[in-house]
Structure 1
Amino acid sequence: MKRYIFFIVLFICLLIPESSFASTLSLSPSAGTFSVGSTFNVSVLLDTKGKSINALQVFLTFPSDKLQVVSPSTGQSIVGVWTAPPKYNNTLGTVSLEGGIPGGIVTSSGVLTTVTFRVKSVGEGIVKFTDKSKVLLDDGLATDDLAQVGNAVFTFRLPPPQGPIVASSTHPDQSFWYQEKSAVLHFANETSGVEGFSYVLNEDPISAPDNISEGTRQSVSYQELSDGIHYFHIKALRDGVWGGTTHFAIKVDTTPPSEFQVELLPNKRTTSLNPIAEFGTTDLNSGIDHYEIKIEPLSREAIQSFGSGNKPIFIEANSPFVLPELAKGSYDVVVHAYDKAGNFREENERLSLTNFTFKIIDKEGIRLGNAVVLPWLWVSIIGGILVLLLAYGAYRTWHWRRHVSQAHQEKVLPGDVLKELDELKKYRERYGAKAIILLLLFSTLFFSGSILAQNTLSVDPPLIDTISRDISNREIFYVGGKTNVSEGSVILYLQNLLTGETLSYEVGSDRNGNWFYRHDGFLFAGEYLIWAQGKDGENFSPPGPQEKIIVEKTAVQFGSNRLSYEVIYLFVIIILGIALIGLALFIIFHYYHGRKKYLEFQREIREAEESIKRGFAILHRDIQAELATIHKMKLSNEFSGEERQREEQLLRDLGDVQKRIGDEIWHIKKETW
């Protein structure tokens, strides 16, 4: 039985991957709660998992605003040789260790160093290893064997009260952040006989007030506190002796998170019905708490897909967020980033879902695929160049065909052929005419037709925190915000800056004071001012701050009908495509018929060439016959001087005719192309 157990254990060990035995670095303790002003030790531990280690590099980071290193101790360490002394930087929050172990070491919890930290302020802090940390095997190759690290999370609090008990009606929980800039503090001592209190408010978490009494009143208030953590320190005087100090934290954050962008993937104009929204930002003081997202339909088809009775709401979301399946149309993806004090930053991005194969971007151009955007300027330039090139090609084709047809119709032979024909006629006139030349018997030429180418102040003014600022005159306008009147009314005013016309709309608020309004039609292009006024029964608030919106003209309106620029661009592209196809067909048609005429003309010219050659052959025969007659006369001594000159002329003409019969006289392609 033991043998079976041994083999099973051996088999399991062989199946465990080698990486599971790799070395680990950890911190001890890995968690804890410590008071501001106190110190605590953190040991860096090494577990080699049964392997021999002979060198290491350890890099730690810590929050420099909450902790500071008193000293890194190397008194108890398995490191035999420090290649560089342990270093720390309280400004950057870093600790670095580099050393070697001659001969190597195998350990399960070897202490590399112990770092002493002092707590500076309240909150949470993480001490962690960086990716540059290494544990090197004693294998002669300096193989990095580090596979896992264990970080530590600590909580830092103020020391327990040693003086009067402090409470706050405006900032009751010391661990929470608040938007309120005014703080009211109440304090009292559990025992009687207090002669006075001394207190101070500053940014030092553990400072002590002076020994000068501020009186016996048991409350104090502070106004216009700056963002950050403020500490209230108080002690009591009893029987001429000052007691211990109580520290109370006040956390104030009135600044919203930093501005950010909402990125839509694969693109903010896409055919995907489930695009992805990515977002993220930071907050200087309290930090980011959560994000909320809302999809606001803008176009009619998008609103219809939501249903007339459904109102989009904010839901909590994390990035990346996969949007629900949406219908074709335009939407605003609105994201709120909340910090831990409740402040929020709103950002939005316009999303357009389209079915077009190519993607038209109203202001930018045409998107090819999902990456390349061709601006409208380049679309116009390229389209114009293509039209000009095709138009030039069409003109050259038409002109060539016209030239061929005209030459064919007017029986116009190439210049060289006409010259040879004239010389042949001159010879025939010199030597007499034998009916030899039926030179130019051409077929009937024809030409096809041409082708045509085509009023009280008890209610606070409502706040506007959600608004569709940059919309087109084919997208729905919306606005929302908060009021201090629950289930009350908000009156919206919308003024057209061009015409001066001002319209008002009334919308109700919910029990939390949230209100929202979506316009029931499209706005005309132009600039508008919008503001809100609260209403509670017969009481009205002063008008709220004005917001300016711009409605861009991305649609042409004909009465009550609208034609979007996207459709106009599509029509232009279709017309351009038809023009290009028409020019291409024009070129093909004229080239085909011109080529046909050209080949026919070539055949007829070759026939003329053969006729001229036959004419010169007959002329050659006649000259030889006449020379034979002259030679007979010469033998009979009847040869005069005039006849001798005649003989010389005949010999010259005979040589010239013989040469011409053998020469190439046609250069048709050069003349006709």
Structure 2
Amino acid sequence: MRNFAKQYIRIFILPAVLSAVFFLLATSAEAARLYMTPLKGSYQPGDTFGVDVRIDSEGECVNVVDAKISFPKGAVRPVDFSRGESILTLWIETPALAPVTDTISFSGGIPGGYCGRAGGDPGISNVLGRIIFSVPGFSVGVAPVGIAHIDFLETSKVLLNDGLGTEAKLQREGSAFTISTTPSTTTTNEWVDAVRSDTTPPEPFVVEVQQNPLAFGGKHFIVFSTTDKQTGLDHYEVSEVDRYGNTPNSERPALWKTVQSPYVLSDQEIKSVIRVKAVDKAGNERVVEYVPDGYGLMPKPKPASVNPGILLGVGAGVLLLGLIIFLVRRKKRTRETTPPPPENIAG
């Protein structure tokens, strides 16, 4: 009987246990988890709140996140997306808010990969982005929503940093918020509070001038990137300034214009200063410059000055010449109009 039990364990039980252990190890080695914080909360019409989208790589290294998030239309409305604390540094698809389709999507990468919270990090450095939601007032004919579920769609993906683009087994955890149907005399606006408290400009960065025969028809262009740890970046602006303080190849004063990186330069000879301004969502700015070799501001050229005495002399000469021409023409006309003297007729 004992021999039979041992054989049964050896043949059936032990392989099953080993297979289960192997399966669990394999699963945990390739798993990743997308989740949100806070997981729950209570809000009312007029409130504005933030939801952090986070990732847990489960000990593995990942380098690409493609997130698709759904929310109930009418219960909440996405109004902004902050990338201030995001670990994504290369944005493949910038955050797109689509209230009509009730979805939010973004895709980004981490060059070198993200392998989890760094040792000694006092915070939880796994934020992909923060979605700012507002709770609209209820409309006539629209049924109020008691619980607003914000979830990841099944089409969301996370890729491992294995050089093969392997898709990780993914766990998805959303949030659920209670939406009150009774407005209150006081409202919560977490986003406005964050913007008002943000007095720090975006992080320092550099501007690089590049040229590639396969890009932009071989024209010179600039690349730049930075982050903002508080409210996140809002936009970039560029200004090209020639030696006279003007826009290159024009006499118009140099102005700022909103652009994205990469940006094709107007001055393809690279003789102008290139200024790039990063502006965060609180309006804080950081400006950096690229100064070409040999650049130096010069005073704007002035019209050539002429000695007043010379002008007076030239003017007098022109008048004298005009007077002479007038007298000559007058004398000529006098001769033409004077009748000839009568001829003497011999008797």
Identify the structure with bigger relative contact order (alpha carbons < 8 Å, sequence gap 6+): 2
Q: Which has the larger radius of gyration?
A: 1
TM range (shorter): 0.3 to 0.5
More helix by proportion, 1 or 2?
A: 1
TM-score of the aligned structures, taking structure 2 as reference length: 0.41
